Structure 1
Amino acid sequence: MLRVGLTGGIGAGKSAVAKRLAERGAVIIDADLLSREVVRPGTEGLAEIVAAFGAGVLTAGGELDRPALGAKVFGDEHARRTLEGIIHPRVRTRTAELTRAAAPDAIVVNDVPLLVEAGLAPSYHLVLVVQTDRDLRIKRLTQLRGMTAAEAAARIGAQTDDGRRRAAGDVVITNDADLDDLHARVDVLWRDRIVGFERNLRTGRSVVNTHDVRILPADPEWPVRAERLMARIRHGLGGDADVRHIGSTSVPGLPAKDVIDLMLSVRTLAEADALAGRLGEIGFPRRAGEWFDNARGTPGLTWPKRFHGSADPGCEVNLHVRVAGSPGWRFALLMRDHLRAVPEARDAYAAAKAAWAESFQDRIGYAEAKEPWFDAEAQAADDWAEEVGWQPGP
């Protein structure tokens, strides 16, 4: 199944997005609703809250008095963390139960207000962030929830900032217009990305465009996107997984195709094969075909590796799985670091890319045209490495 994380600041319209996704067929798991469920009268959660904060947080009927509890924890970091330590583990347990109960081909959307603050983004295949202008959020909170402007501003200020949310989101849904506009945005996302992502994930298919060659200006979002993808891989394989951003999108100022190249280091190719299934489960299916790199300067020989892509139609990825310390592993890092350190080499590569893209309209022809340049780059990078005492970087 496809697991989608949905978040957004208070008043941004996250609930409206969740409702529309449910209408399209998604299974919605609402963390706010679960946080209420786990502290109903008679639950261990409620008993633990009373033990921590006193009977004054209960109504006359024995239910949780949320305003009274809120007054105790708002602005008190220790109290807030105590409350989170009671509620969050129970919500996570209930979320896991509901997820396991969903169908194998389900699209499960976890509606989590504090997804970014809790560091949960890497645990999902896709993260959606709903974003709205701050003044509009304050207006909505005053009109729809009865807050004063000062109360609304304080609630917004107590959450993480929009920039941090955007960095965590694979998709940012802007909600500054009316409901029809928001529904249209969600519908396009569902049709063009989410449905295909689930299908690709279930069938083990990676997305690859072998035809269109478009060289784009350097985009500062490429490293941000790479960080999200690497965090997802580390979460799926274990925190010590060695995955790095390589290729043209890892070089500041270098034009490139809109494809993120990553490299996962392993001890042996047998280890790479053993990881293939797990990588597929977290959204990076193995890509069929020959698994090797051109052995630079050694005609007729190749360097073995394994190769994965992305199941996400909205994010093309080349995930190279190479043995740490192998020639192909070394060249990938050396070329990246050389182009980062030597602007003349970077600019020469950029000029060559533009010429190849002009001459070749398909990616296969474009890739073949690059080979002589790569051979020359291999020699230039080796000379540079010897001169500066280069060691592989992160």
Structure 2
Amino acid sequence: MSGSITADGQLRIGLTGGIGAGKSTVAALLAEKGAAIVDADAVAREVVEPGEPALQALVREFGPQVVDDDRALDRQALAAAAFVSAERTAALNAIMHPAIAARTQERFAALAASPVVVHDVPLLVEKRMGAAYHLCVLVDVPAPLRLDRLVRSRGLDREDAQRRIAQQADDAQRYEECDAVLDNAGEPAALRRAFDALWTERIEPFALALDSGRAQPAAEGPEGEPATEAEAAVRAHAPARLRRRLEHCLAAAGASTETLSAVTAEPLGFRLETEGLGGAEAVEGALRGGGWLAADRGLRVFADPVQPGRLHLR
């Protein structure tokens, strides 16, 4: 995804997790709360349905053997033709990525009135997409348990399942990119309790702040010691994630990030020298859309109640 995170007033969440982690379960819980869901896998399937321009482009590029007698995509035939070299894979990506991006933007545009929109993206971490969302939520399950679930519940061959897991990001990379962790290694009731707490304590007040356009009183961040190693790792990378979000906002407004610096006295504090920045109105709009709301003169506060960054404009 490119451009600003979202239109004013809407909370955009990136939802991810390794294969077999249970993203669809969490997506259903979010939908129960009224969040709109954009499923990246569903979009990827839609753009190659019969008659779609992307499917026609695939046929031109890789030959008629990539469709079956019903003119539907033969995924195995496409894989055999596309994954034979880096050049062929790049040709596949050159067709698929723009088509998926355009359809995704259409979905988001159609959901402009939704207070909370969730983008269910399996490869969010691998593609370093976190800065494009206000909040990234990870459905977390240890790899051995995911492997067991894939074999027992989905009927995958164990070696195939191991290969798929190995091709994805590891836990450390996910904790670096994501802001919140939902442990789905236990019973469904435990996941439900953790989700309800995340919604009540973080997602709902975050969405309300964006909708009102008013920054809440600046908190000091999470209270107490992290309960798990995963939570500790997620907290440790919070400043870097916020900085990437700021850089994303400024880039969307065509502004340079050269004058953006950290405030050492504030763990989640930043300073932006605005002299000569240009396009002040565009910058202000990008920051507001990115979740950085005006608090006092020269101060913007990131509206996440658990990760309340502060941006000083000078």
Question: Same fold by TM-score, threshold 0.5 exceeded?
Answer: yes
CA contact (8 A) 1:38 1:46 kept: yes
Distance 1:315 1:106 in 2: 20
Does residue 191 in structure 1 map to residue 214 in structure 2? Answer: no
Residue pair 1:29, 1:98 contacting (<8 A) in 2 also: yes
Q: Does 1:263 align with 2:276?
A: no
The answer for the alignment partner of 2:7 in structure 1 is: none
* 3-state SS of 1:286 partner: strand
Matched residues in 1 for 2:154 and 2:219: separation? 51
Instruction: Give the Å deviation of 1:225.
Output: 1.0
Q: Distance in 1 between matches of 2:278 and 2:119?
A: 35
CA contact (8 A) 1:105 1:198 kept: no
Shift of 1:158: 1.4
Q: Which moved more, 1:219-228 or 1:164-173?
A: 219-228
Counterpart of 2:243 in structure 1: which amino acid?
M
Q: Is the 8 A contact 2:176 2:233 kept in 1?
A: no
User: Corresponding residue for 1:241?
Assistant: 257
The percentage of counterpart residues that share the same residue type is: 37
Partner SS, residue 237 of structure 2: helix
Deviations 1:331-380 (A, max 9, x none): xxxxxxxxxxxxxxxxxxxxxxxxxxxxxxxxxxxxxxxxxxxxxxxxxx
1:309 aligns with 2:270: no
Match of 1:36 in 2: 45
CA contact (8 A) 1:3 1:108 kept: yes
Name the counterpart of 1:48: 57
- Does the alignment pair 1:167 with 2:180? no
1:321 partnered with 2:306: no
Tell me if 1:101 matches 2:110: yes
Q: Tell me: CA distance 1:37–1:186, structure 2 relative to 1, closer, same or farther (3 Å).
A: same
Offset at residue 216 of structure 1 (A): 7.9
* RMSD between aligned residues: 2.8
Q: CA deviation at 1:201?
A: 0.9
**1:139 aligns to what?**
148
Task: Check if 1:275 corresponds to 2:292.
Answer: no
Match for residue 3 of structure 2?
A: none
The equivalent of 1:60 in structure 2 is: 69
The alignment status of 1:24 with 2:41, answered yes or no, reads no
Q: Contact 2:215/2:301 (CA < 8 Å) preserved in 1?
A: yes
- Structure showing greater radius of gyration is 1
- CA drift of 1:69 comes to 2.6
Q: Deviations over 1:243-291 (max 9, x none)?
A: 2222235xxxxxxxxx511112221699767633331211110113xx4
Quickly say closer, same or farther: Cα 1:166–1:75, change in 2 above 3 A. Answer: farther
Distance 1:35 1:152, change over 3 A: same
Partner of 1:368: none
203-212 or 52-61, which moves further after superposition?
A: 203-212
Matched residues in 2 for 1:54 and 1:178: separation? Answer: 48
In structure 1, C-alpha distance between the alignment counterparts of 2:147 and 2:219, rounded to whole Å: 47
Count of aligned residue pairs for this structure pair: 296
Q: Deviations over 1:53-73 (max 9, x none)?
A: 222222222211123333444
Helix, strand or coil: the match of 1:285? Answer: strand
SS at match of 1:287: strand
**1:248 aligned counterpart, secondary structure:** coil
Deviation digits for residues 122-165 of structure 1, max 9, x if unmatched?
11111112221101111111122221111001011112222112
Please state if 1:230 is matched with 2:246.
no
Q: Distance in 1 between matches of 2:53 and 2:107?
A: 19
Matches within 5 A, 1:282-297: 282-288=290-296, 291=297
CA contact (8 A) 1:272 1:321 kept: no
Change in CA separation of 1:165 and 1:222 when aligned onto 2, cut-off 3 Å: closer
Q: Which has the higher contact order (CA 8 A, sep 6+)?
A: 2
Query: For 1:165 and 1:197, how far apart are their aligned partners in 2?
Result: 22
**Cα distance, 1:174 vs structure 2:** 1.8
Q: How does 1:335-374 map to 2 (within 5 A)?
A: none
| Structure 1 unmatched runs, 5+ | 250-258, 292-305, 323-394
Whole-Å separation in 2 of the counterparts to 1:62 and 1:271: 49
The alpha-carbon distance between structure 1 residues 273 and 240, as it changes in their structure 2 partners (threshold 3 A), is closer
Q: Which runs of 5+ in 2 are unaligned?
A: 1-9, 227-231
